[in-house]
Amino acid sequence: MAAFSLVGFALLAVTWRWLPRFWVWFTALFVALSLGPFVHIAGINTYIPGPWAFLRYVPVIGMARAPSRFSIVAALGMSVLAGFALDVWLRRSRGWSRRAMVACVLGALALELTPAPRQLYSADVPDVYQLVSAGAESSVLLELPTGIRDGTSSIGDFNASTQFFQTRHHRPLVGGYLSRVSRWRKDENRRSRYSTRSSR
């Protein structure tokens, strides 16, 4: 929920007691699910299990348990609540204060949503990949630890950043991440003597 509007968060903080309880609980459920298996605070894993840690064992919805998917519904709920919050605040305001409130909210939203270049996270690729790109075009890159990962399982310990770094060197990779990997591909990886050693 870090991508949700700060203006929206401020509106919710001021008017939370007047918001519809159904939408509050609906949004709270999906916010909790979007946190993933363990709660992180300021980038630190607290190892406190969230609802998602238990939902992964539910057989019927096991294929739709990715936290990023729940965050979409959570953002929808937050947007609906922000609309309710603005409506409540405007109905409680009168005269010039109502017009000032609308002007402040619109100004704050315009400032926050201005598409100015703001670096949120470094997308630099380590310089070592320049050496990889200078190698033979027929070469294949193996980064350790390696493995195969998809939305439902993980064999080994493949890091998805490896695929991002591939945008610099353009070489094929050993291992990887896909939304779905076939059972045959997973079985072949387990049977390989090399992958068995690298997955430990």
| Regions of the chain with pLDDT less than 50 | 196-200
Q: Give the burial class of 146: count Cβ atoms within 10 A of its Cβ; 0-12 exposed, 13-18 middle, 19 or more buried.
A: buried
pLDDT for res 196: 43
pLDDT (0 to 100) of residue 26: 94
∠ CA 114-8-43, rounded to 5°: 85
Contact, 165 vs 126, CB < 8 A?
yes
Q: For 73-131, what is the HEC assignment? A: HHHHHHHHHHHHHHHHHHHCCCHHHHHHHHHHHHHHHHHHCCCCCCCCCCCCCCCHHHH
Residue 144 contacts residue 174 (beta carbons within 8 Å)? no
What span, in angstroms and rounded, lies between the C-alpha atoms of 24 and 20?
6
Q: What is the pTM of this model?
A: 0.62
Instruction: Give residue for tokens 């953002």.
Output: 75
**Residue ranges per domain, the chain?**
6-112, 128-198
The reported pLDDT for the residue numbered 125 is: 87
Nearest to 35 by CA among 63, 2, 57, 82: 2
